[in-house]
Amino acid sequence: MATSPSAHAGEHADEHGHADHRPSPYDPRRWLFSTNHKDIGTMYLIFAIIAGLVGGAMSGLLRWELAEPGLQVFNGQSVLGIVFGNEHNYNVIMSAHGLIMIFFMVMPALIGGFGNWFVPLMIGAPDMAFPRMNNISFWLLPVALSLAVLSMIVPGGSMGTGFGGGWTLYAPLSTSPQLHGGPSMDLLILSIHVAGISSILGSINFIVTIFNMRAPGMTLHRMPLFVWSILVTVWLLLLSLPVLAGAITMLLTDRNFGTNFFNAAGGGDPAMFQHLFWFFGHPEVYVLILPGFGIISQIVSTFSRKPVFGYLGMAYAMVSIGVIGFIVWAHHMYTTGMGLELEAYFVAATMIIAVPTGIKIFSWIATMWGGSIDLKVPMLWAIGFIFLFTLGGVTGVVLANSGIDTVLHDTYYVVAHFHYTMSLGATFAVFAGFYYWLPKMSGLKYSGFLGGLHFWLMFVGVNAVFFPQHFLGLQGMPRRYADYPAGFAHWNLISSYGYVITAVGVLVFLAMLLDMFVLRRRKLNAAENASPWGEGATTLEWTLSSPPPFHQFSELPVIAEEKHH
């Protein structure tokens, strides 16, 4: 190990009492006023798990409704009928599912959770650059989530409570005084504002940390790929979130202060909202997946016991995905009519993204090639990720063609595509990272059996949910309806069965956590305490004890020439 001082930081933790002034976990001040990147990361992860369960339960309602033609749940008569009276409520749940999963599950888990925990550890920094700002970044999120949930239960408009216009919030539906005149949409706008401020503050924190607080010798080109992925991600957030903030501010003024930004009757243009939204929205989907790329690179390298194949190519593939991600947004808008040349440009630019993405997938496979592969739980999730993400990427190339997209726009084919990349890709990356770093974060061992069972149930379940949706989309089943003609019944039922399998997988996940933290609490033994995954794990966090000392690297590690990932 070339990192001399930190190699015994674990032992130091015992000698230096001050390095481990870990306040009691039962003291609320430790969490409310926390400035410690590991505590804040833990809070982000717990928040993401809770939001994921809420968002996942919502998708259960959707699949329940869609299991058969007709209205099962959202019909005003079912058990849940008191709350979910009509199809509008289906759309409300569907919109909230999307927003919660994006803003309150995947982003907090990948960026706030793993980013906070491991970016400082991996670059040899004592903490984040602005620890107090880190605290406010986290605590804005529960506020934002509360506003989003509140938005679901206050009057939305003529159709009932809540906002039912989808996560894209398109005008004129979201500005219509008849359909969404109630306070629901305003609360949702406020919620996204608050979540956006949280993300922007977090992004500034990461950028300053990564650019200024790397340990001696940790040059940019020696940073672990996970740190690279976070760096690219937070730049995307910094450039795109203000545009979303501006766009939804205009929605707010259109709704409440008589402006006409998106109102054709007043000389505005609703298509402009789509441009602004997708200028944010497309980089946002890379925000959701890039940290996952970083995690998968670390895991594949660790469990193949080889350095990542083509390190620099991997880093700059992420940079180029980030850059190109800003100039392809209108491929979400082919059906708005934009002229052949413009469409041709957006088709070509979109397809070009397949090149750096292909480099990444190739390099992961090349890393495994000839490696000493150890199929531990994180590696299962990582390989599952590569499989599912590649499938989602292939359908993405199909949808990039404007001619095909004109047919498939707003069908279940699109739903299947983005769930393969996001719901399966990003979520599998979250679980991969979780199982990879959980022993490091907790100092405890988890049950490999339960972790593996969780993986196989989820893998079979999500494929059963989403693969049939390709067929439904190709047959022309549109998104965002609570009901459908009987011809679509067969694959919808299979899709809903898949949800049940996935839900059992989530229960196994909770059982795994219960077993690990409450029932057995098996500590890592001394030999494997610092690095339970063996010699393949070469990044700096594995040189520290598990769990790491409350404050680390008060003596900075020095990174030598040959070590870079």
Q: Which residues bind other proteins (CB under 8 A)?
A: 18, 126-127, 129-130, 200, 203-204, 207-208, 211-213, 238-247, 249-250, 258, 261, 264-269, 271-272, 275-276, 336-341, 551, 553-554
Angle, CA of 345, 347 and 350, to the nearest 5°:
105
Phi and psi based region of residue 176 (left: phi greater than 0; alpha: psi -120 to 50; beta: remaining): beta
- Nearest to other proteins of 333, 438 (CB atom): 333
Least Å distance, CB 126 to other proteins, is: 4
Closest-CA residue to 468 (of 91, 89, 63, 95): 63
Measured CA distances, 250 to 130, 171, 183, 265, 495 (Å): 31, 10, 16, 16, 38
302 carries an active-site annotation = no
- Nearest to other proteins of 262, 466 (CB atom): 262
- Nearest to other proteins of 35, 442 (CB atom): 35
From the candidates 180, 193, 360, 565, give the one annotated as an active-site residue. Answer: 360
Element (H, E) at 63: helix 37-66
How far is residue 315's CA from residue 221's CA, in Å, rounded to a whole number? 8
Least Å distance, CB 291 to other proteins, is: 19
- Nearest to other proteins of 82, 337 (CB atom): 337
Least Å distance, CB 273 to other proteins, is: 9
From the candidates 297, 301, 531, 538, give the one annotated as an active-site residue. Answer: 297
Closest-CA residue to 481 (of 75, 176, 65): 65
20 carries an active-site annotation = no
Cα-only R_g, the chain? 23
- Nearest to other proteins of 341, 562 (CB atom): 341
Question: Dihedral (C-alpha) 103, 207, 552, 118: value to the nearest 10 degrees?
Answer: 40
546 carries an active-site annotation = no
332 carries an active-site annotation = yes
Residue type, 358: G
Q: How many CB atoms lie within 10 A of CB 174?
A: 25
- Nearest to other proteins of 340, 486 (CB atom): 340
How far is residue 244's CA from residue 242's CA, in Å, rounded to a whole number? 5
Closest-CA residue to 554 (of 1, 82, 6, 3): 6
410 carries an active-site annotation = no
167 carries an active-site annotation = yes
Beta strands in 128-277 (DSSP E): 155-157, 160-161
304 carries an active-site annotation = no
Question: In the structure encoding, which two tokens stand for residue 358, read together?
Answer: 């292909």
97 carries an active-site annotation = yes
Least Å distance, CB 267 to other proteins, is: 7
Least Å distance, CB 242 to other proteins, is: 4
From the candidates 38, 180, 282, 454, give the one annotated as an active-site residue. Answer: 282
From the candidates 180, 332, 470, 564, give the one annotated as an active-site residue. Answer: 332
284 carries an active-site annotation = yes
How far is residue 5's CA from residue 480's CA, in Å, rounded to a whole number? 57
- Nearest to other proteins of 116, 395 (CB atom): 116
From the candidates 186, 284, 343, 541, give the one annotated as an active-site residue. Answer: 284
From the candidates 198, 350, 427, 538, give the one annotated as an active-site residue. Answer: 198
From the candidates 12, 180, 222, 331, give the one annotated as an active-site residue. Answer: 331
Measured over the CA atoms of residue 534, residue 536, residue 540 and residue 541, the dihedral's sign is negative
- Nearest to other proteins of 28, 258 (CB atom): 258
How far is residue 156's CA from residue 76's CA, in Å, rounded to a whole number? 17
Strand partners, 161: 155
Strand partners, 523: 444
Least Å distance, CB 350 to other proteins, is: 19
8 carries an active-site annotation = no
419 carries an active-site annotation = no
How far is residue 490's CA from residue 131's CA, in Å, rounded to a whole number? 53
Least Å distance, CB 311 to other proteins, is: 25
Least Å distance, CB 137 to other proteins, is: 13
How far is residue 237's CA from residue 251's CA, in Å, rounded to a whole number? 20
495 carries an active-site annotation = no
By annotation, the residues acting in catalysis are 97, 127, 167, 198-199, 282, 284, 286, 297, 331-332, 357, 360, 479
